[in-house]
Structure 1
Amino acid sequence: MCNAHQTPTTNIQAKPDPETLYRRQFLKYAGATSMIAAGGAIASCATNAETGRSQFIALSPSEESLAQAAAQSWTDVKRQTPTSNDPRYTGRLRNIGSRISQGAGRADQTWDYAVFDEDTKNAFVLPGNRVGFYKGMMDFTDNDDQIAAIMGHEVGHVTGAHAQERYSQMMLGQLAIAGGTILAGSQLSKRCRKETSQRAYNDCMNSAGRNTQYLQAALGMGFQLGVVLPYGRRQELESDQLGAKYMAKAGYDPYQAVRLWEKMGAESSASRGPEFLSTHPTPERRAQDLSDYITAQQKLGSRGFEQLDIPADA
């Protein structure tokens, strides 16, 4: 794996997180082809220009599967969820998105924005510069600067190549789980062949099959907790800081990102689960980390916001 050295959207409702649901759907589409793609994958470690961090990216002849999965998920979520045509929402989002993409140096790219006509307090981004906001999220904010904070965060996922990184981790994890399961199954099968009666052999093989399934499930959970989720938290913090950078460059007040997360924390503290089992850091932590980062960067004047400063325990 790469040396992931460091250089220096949270759902607030109790009902299932739409962002989580659509991302699971996206990973399902991507996962359907990831094992095939992995067979011809080319592992690449490169330093991301925006984050300064070395990333493991698996390229393959089926690399387009990621883009196809994102396009399909975008189509599905827009078909399944009503979208708003109210210019007070859509026009506002496009204007803010345009300024943030310019601040990120991506104004020359095509961006697709959608406002979903639901009260959910959430937003998301898909590969291909597809950004979705829910009306509930826009209504929750106090001003354009706070919407820009969310937009900057989502754009940070794009410039940070986080989707490609997660996709690569998923491919590698599936291969590791498959390899571990096959090895364990082979060892159990050898043990069963030592049985002297057909009945004992059959019982042994049935038990081996169950044990292999348990092992596969355990390996999958271990991979998720040990690799995917911690990386997810780091990516969230990277996107927060990138978002603050893009806000500053676009003329927004980056401290409004701190105010936004403080507001989210006040509303969501009673309903969320343990932080270590979430891809999203707690709102309180995000607010504090962002406040520290913005204060330090503004002290640097014109040299500020050129590097990230992710906490060591992220």
Structure 2
Amino acid sequence: MSNSFDRHRRLRKTAAIRDMIRETHLRVEDLMYPLYVQHGQNVREEIRSMPGVYHLSIDEYRREIQEISELGIRSIILFGIPAHKDDQSSEAYAEAGIVQQAVRAAREENPDLVIATDVCLCQYNPAGHCGIVHDGIIENDSSLELIAKTALSHAQAGADIVAPSDMMDGRIAKIRETLDAKGYQDTILLSYAVKYASAFYGPFREAAHSAPAFGDRKTYQMDPANYREALREAASDLAEGADMLMVKPAMAYLDVVRTLRDRYDVPIAAYNVSGEYAMIKAAAERGWIDEQAIVTETLTGIKRAGADIILTYSAKDVANWMKQGKF
């Protein structure tokens, strides 16, 4: 009697067979580790809503760079906590700004590290918005000059990648024009092309001290219900000169990650954001889930959806598990 069904389980029979035919492989090289730097000395302050993630002064940050380098993490993205805020977000583009200092320090600690910087104005001005605010309006065009100036200052400090997250229209073209005019044609432009106005950013507001002083960010970040709009955003940014595209957040938007991967032949990044990280940490601390298994499944799913680069606060945990042969 012949079988009338397929025996798919043959290929799942042993761990060795499952490993041999596995389709998606997560590597430490796929992970970009976000870091928060601030002024001061001997500061290593854990962020309450993000266990295991810290505000770091430059001296502590140098030690962190050494540690992650030993773990094999090869790329970081930097977020700065300024010493002061003003309406022009002046520390965002200051030569001695905190991100600029951190770029130089990381380059000294590990010349081979890939250094990306978040380019935005929100944590540098009292309004907490990603563009210049005038009479309660977040202005688009007047913000572009300062956003580009910030990106340029990061490139001058030695950043390999500048990643504008502000979602102002035209900022990619303005940054590319500014970088090229100043001789930074080789600086990579990673656009937060598809950034949704998401509730998953909650813990980040605490981490970056960047909660809006009024209103919200829905006039410039995308509506979570929209899919076709994401394709228009991505197409615009590529046309303006972006080298890579990012989707943020990751987990609730894997359909968008997959579509960008299928449609465009450029590297695709996905940001496994603070709220996603915090939910897993909180459940693991209560013993409700197996943290390593959940993180592995989550990041593998993001990779399977098509992300080449995954920005994740779990990068150190994953690198440690891999080093210990547990991943």
Q: What range is the shorter-chain TM-score in? A: under 0.3
More helix by share: 1
Select the structure of larger CA radius of gyration: 1
More strand by share: 2
